[in-house]
Amino acid sequence: MEAERRDTSVLLVFAHPALERSRANAVLADAARKAVGVTFHDLYEVYPDFVIDVEAEQALLLAHQVIALQFPFYWYSTPALLKEWLDLVWLHGFAYGKGGDRLKGKQLFVACTTGGPAQAYHQRGANRFTMEEFLRPLEQTAALCGMTWENPYVVHGARLKDDDHIRREAEGYRARLEGLAAAARETAR
């Protein structure tokens, strides 16, 4: 199992089950792969059969200060392999519970795309709840593990946006990742 770069401060865990059909995440992922200070780790590429190397994943987590999760929003949640990765890797005694303080002090950053437009993610919109509310399980996961929750990067209406818009989003996303990486490097000095 080999992630693309080591000795970087942001671990970007990427999960898209059909990257060949992706528009938004493919462009965002390209930008993230070029970001300075970011280790790009594509879960569906590394584990197409869902057999996750737990020790290797824990070692990757320990080697980075910022844990970033990038995914398309599926059924108001993460794609299945990302959930499997959380279930198997973020173990009791490692991530939480007695002796489970290995992620404490790190940051959790979520970047996701939705099919629904921004106005659908509203109390009176089609999805009835805000994105902030839908992401609460991850926010609380960070809290349980003693991690800082970074303001998420969300691209709404991903299928409706034209190529220029997606490219601009990707630039903003890359800048955000590089900002997190630079801040983490600064703190580590």
Ligand X SMILES: Cc1cc2nc3c(=O)[nH]c(=O)nc-3n(C[C@H](O)[C@H](O)[C@H](O)COP(=O)(O)O)c2cc1C
Residues that bind ligand X (CB under 6 A): 16, 22-25, 72-76, 113-116, 158-159
Please report how close the Cβ of residue 177 comes to ligand X at its closest, in angstroms: 17
Closest to ligand X by CB, 67 or 166:
166
Closest to ligand X by CB, 44 or 76:
76
Closest to ligand X by CB, 117 or 146:
117
Closest to ligand X by CB, 21 or 189:
21
CB 60 within 8 A of CB 102: no
Please report how close the Cβ of residue 170 comes to ligand X at its closest, in angstroms: 11
Please report how close the Cβ of residue 45 comes to ligand X at its closest, in angstroms: 15
Please report how close the Cβ of residue 24 comes to ligand X at its closest, in angstroms: 4
